[in-house]
């Protein structure tokens, strides 16, 4: 069967051209007897997140309209090692391979492809840990020498310039949201301006600012989500209900608590070909800020699916399915977990395959690793145990 191929070309600057890449890839496709369904070209820096043409190719892959993506080399496709791993996992879920003209082929349906991907993910996690430790050491040393960190007075150029207008509008009764829209600021910046004003005038005779009365908000939608850990059999899953105005950052916390993870590793959401998480450009982890994106902004409706990956080394992939859209029940405190099945795997057990080996060892008393694995996990582990009440107690602690 002839494979349907999408060709993707990218150059970094406007003084470069995709012509050579396009010519070479067409020749390669012809020799390999691939059928080219389209060619996508763009000019964008390798670290740029919003690559429009690449998103179109990913959309083709998700729709199962192609069998593989052909590039001249992996650096033309991936923004970073983490980005490469994330997109490989997405493509694997859709049954699509990534092929480089250099001969490298990532087909995660093969054991060799999975091995290379896991090795790359583990190296990326190790590298991030080293960089993170160096950054922490540098910050501690700077503070020890008396260096002031963070923004100092005069650094908030736009906020300081607009502060008088903000304070005047607050005094006139405008809401923070309306002020932010009128002055092209974020609501957080408006709040910070008012907060700094109040802190600096606590002991003065300046008339305190009065806040505008809250307007009646429209009822929120409640999303019923089913969170399933992929590739684990029997399945490990949770069903939760979350308000639509929660951010992806809050959903990350909810997933951690409901599944049973310890929030000890990096994570990302992949929604519509875009990555969301906690941006750390200094660690080459440049994703969209999950704290600024509400669920209502990215969820299209019922039956919508997206991915959440935790721990880039073990690569725990979670499929999140929007089962229902419901009205708010005033008797329910959200978020809430309705039900679930089975225990969360132990942290750092080696991903899906490592977890399977772990279970095999603890279930067979004559296994060479039986005692060592039980000791490592604390003496016992019941893979079928799930405590719904304990999960909801943890969820109630989320603001």
* pLDDT tens per residue, range 66-108: 999 999 888 788 766 667 777 887 888 788 888 888 766 666 5
In a domain, 176, yes or no: no
- CATH number, domain containing residue 298: 3.10.290.30
Closest CA to 161 of 183, 135, 132, 143: 183
Q: Report the DSSP pairing between strands 267-271 and 274-277.
A: antiparallel
- CATH number, domain containing residue 86: 3.40.50.1390
Indicate the residue among 53, 86, 109 that finishes a domain: 109
* Domain membership of residue 314 as a residue range: 221-343+384-395
In a domain, 248, yes or no: yes
Band of pLDDT at residue 215, cut at 50, 70 and 90: very low
Structure tokens belonging to residue 139: 């910050």
pTM of the model: 0.50
In a domain, 354, yes or no: no
Contact 166, 178 (CB under 8 A): no
Four-residue CA torsion sign, 350, 353, 356, 358: negative
Lowest mean pLDDT among 8-17, 147-156, 234-243: 147-156
Q: Name the phi and psi angles at 40, rounded to 5.
A: -115, 125
In a domain, 45, yes or no: yes
Band of pLDDT at residue 132, cut at 50, 70 and 90: low
Verify that 241 and 388 share a domain, yes or no. Answer: yes
108-134: burial string, b at 16+ Cβ within 10 Å, e else = beeeebbebbbebbbebbeebeeeeee
Q: In angstroms, what is the C-alpha Rg of the chain?
A: 25
pLDDT higher at 266 or 204: 266
Give the other-Cβ count within 10 Å of 392's Cβ: 17
Question: Cα(241)–Cα(392) distance, rounded to whole angstroms?
Answer: 11
Which helix (H) or strand (E) covers residue 352, if one does? helix 351-363
Highest mean pLDDT: which of 193-202, 237-246, 307-316? 237-246
Q: What percent of the chain has pLDDT over 70?
A: 75
111 sits in the region (left: phi over 0; alpha: psi -120 to 50; else beta) called alpha
Verify that 390 and 257 share a domain, yes or no. Answer: yes
pLDDT higher at 56 or 122: 56
In a domain, 283, yes or no: yes
Q: What pLDDT is stored for residue 104 in this prediction?
A: 66
Verify that 96 and 233 share a domain, yes or no. Answer: no
In a domain, 229, yes or no: yes
On the 0-12 / 13-18 / 19+ scale of CB atoms within 10 A, 247 is: middle
In a domain, 180, yes or no: no
* pLDDT tens per residue, range 101-129: 876 666 655 666 667 666 666 665 565 55
Indicate the residue among 57, 82, 109 that finishes a domain: 109
Half-sphere exposure of 33 (CA within 13 A, CB side): 2
In a domain, 312, yes or no: yes
pLDDT at 201 over 70: no
Q: How many domains does the chain have?
A: 2
Q: Report the DSSP pairing between strands 105-106 and 97-100.
A: antiparallel
Question: Cα(392)–Cα(279) distance, rounded to whole angstroms?
Answer: 29
Structure tokens belonging to residue 129: 């840990």
Structure tokens belonging to residue 250: 């809050």
Sheet strands side by side (includes 97-100) = 35-43, 4-11, 68-71, 97-100, 105-106
On the 0-12 / 13-18 / 19+ scale of CB atoms within 10 A, 380 is: exposed
Question: Cα(328)–Cα(224) distance, rounded to whole angstroms?
Answer: 11
Indicate the residue among 92, 109, 126 that finishes a domain: 109
Verify that 101 and 238 share a domain, yes or no. Answer: no
Q: What pLDDT is stored for residue 27 in this prediction?
A: 92
Closest CA to 100 of 3, 29, 35: 29
pLDDT at 363 over 80: yes
């Amino acid at each position: 069967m002839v494979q349907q191929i999408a060709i993707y070309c990218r150059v970094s600057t406007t003084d470069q051209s995709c012509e050579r890449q396009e010519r070479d890839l067409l020749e390669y496709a012809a020799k390999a007897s691939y059928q080219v369904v389209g060619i996508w070209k763009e000019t964008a820096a390798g670290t740029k997140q919003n690559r429009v043409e690449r998103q179109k190719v990913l959309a083709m892959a998700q729709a199962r309209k192609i069998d593989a993506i052909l590039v001249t080399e992996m650096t033309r496709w991936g923004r970073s090692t983490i980005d490469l791993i994330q997109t490989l996992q997405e493509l694997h879920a859709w049954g699509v391979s990534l092929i480089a003209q250099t001969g490298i082929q990532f087909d995660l349906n093969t054991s060799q492809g999975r091995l290379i991907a896991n090795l790359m993910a583990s190296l990326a996690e190790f590298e991030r840990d080293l960089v993170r430790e160096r950054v922490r050491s540098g910050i501690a040393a700077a503070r020890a020498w008396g260096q002031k960190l963070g923004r100092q007075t005069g650094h908030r150029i736009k906020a300081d310039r607009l502060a008088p207008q903000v304070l005047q509008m607050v005094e006139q009764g405008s809401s923070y949201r309306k002020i932010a829209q009128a002055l092209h600021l974020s609501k957080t910046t408006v709040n910070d301006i008012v907060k700094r004003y109040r802190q600096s005038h606590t002991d003065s005779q300046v008339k305190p600012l009065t806040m505008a009365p809250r307007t009646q908000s429209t009822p929120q939608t409640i999303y019923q989500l089913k969170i399933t850990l992929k590739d684990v059999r029997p399945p490990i899953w949770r069903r939760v209900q979350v308000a639509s105005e929660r951010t992806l950052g809050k959903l990350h916390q909810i997933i951690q608590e409901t599944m049973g993870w310890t929030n000890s590793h990096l994570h990302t959401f992949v929604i519509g070909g875009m990555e969301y998480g906690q941006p750390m450009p200094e660690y080459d982890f440049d994703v969209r800020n999950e704290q600024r994106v509400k669920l209502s902004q990215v969820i299209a409706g019922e039956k919508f699916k997206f991915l959440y990956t935790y721990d880039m080394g073990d690569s725990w992939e979670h499929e999140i399915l929007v089962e229902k859209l419901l009205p708010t029940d005033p008797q329910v405190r959200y978020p809430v977990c309705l039900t679930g099945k089975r225990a969360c795997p132990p942290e750092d057990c080696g991903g899906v395959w490592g977890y399977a080996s772990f279970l095999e060892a603890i279930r067979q008393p004559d296994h060479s690793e039986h005692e060592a694995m039980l000791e490592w996990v604390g003496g016992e582990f019941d893979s079928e145990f799930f405590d719904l009440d304990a999960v909801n107690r943890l969820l109630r602690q989320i603001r």
